[in-house]
Amino acid sequence: MEATERGLSTVISTVIITTTLLVILFIAFYFATDMLEIQVQNSEFEQAKTAMRILDKTIADVALRPGAASSIPFNQRSGGIGLYEGEAINIMIYSDSSLNQSRTISSWVIKYRGGRMVSAAEVNLTQPVGLIVTDASKPLGYVRVEVGNGVWVVLDYNRVRITVNENLKVMDIHLIKLERGTTGGTGTVTVRVQSGVPQVETLTFNSQVRVCVKVGNQVECYPSDSGGVFVSAVRLIIVPIVVSIM
């Protein structure tokens, strides 16, 4: 009888130990799988940040050459890239303090959504600028990480570059306008950008001109003070860039 009891006790102990080990192994496997997936998704997000910065430079390059095209690959294993409708850009041109022209231009924004396990903080990936750029060395594109309903890498062109030719008394207002092309595809996709023919609108003045740009609730003016710049003409130059995801 005692031998039988000892035998049963040994079996029960073995079952308990085996079950405990299996539970520990399962938890360890689940934890290791999660940790690996977190690393993979964060790595993919870092690649997307680099690719978006390259895409920004690519768009700036093709914008200088009508008809030029180029492409950048993006990995969509856990995340995804897409075009989203952005806030409209309102350009107001004042002549001798009176509103002379107002143009509202629709815009698109390129966004890459990170995987559900990606953790990141909001950060500027390119030098942040305002709505009006006067320095030729500053880009029109703005790449950043945003947090809200997930983590995102965002690229927009919601700003203009203003240059003034003092000799000719001509002001140029330069804008890159993203346009939606073909979109779709899973896994690794190619983002293709192609520049179109610049749309040029010339307005004639012989007065003090001041330009204000509004996007959402943000407004900036050039010159920044209440004065203006004397010019004979203002050229609004819109460069369309067709963005396709294939």
pLDDT of residue 1: 52
pLDDT of residue 129: 78
d(CA 236, CA 161): 10
pLDDT of residue 207: 94
pLDDT of residue 31: 58
Q: Mean pLDDT by 10-residue block, N- to C-terminus, for the chain (246 residues)?
A: 55 68 63 74 94 96 96 92 95 93 94 92 89 91 94 96 95 97 87 96 95 96 89 97 96
pLDDT of residue 68: 97
pLDDT of residue 156: 96
pLDDT of residue 7: 53
For residue 109, the cross-strand partners are: 84
Contacts of 172 (CB under 8 A, 6+ apart): 161, 162, 163, 164, 165, 234, 235, 237
d(CA 118, CA 10): 47
Chain Cα centroid distance, residue 181: 16
pLDDT of residue 225: 82
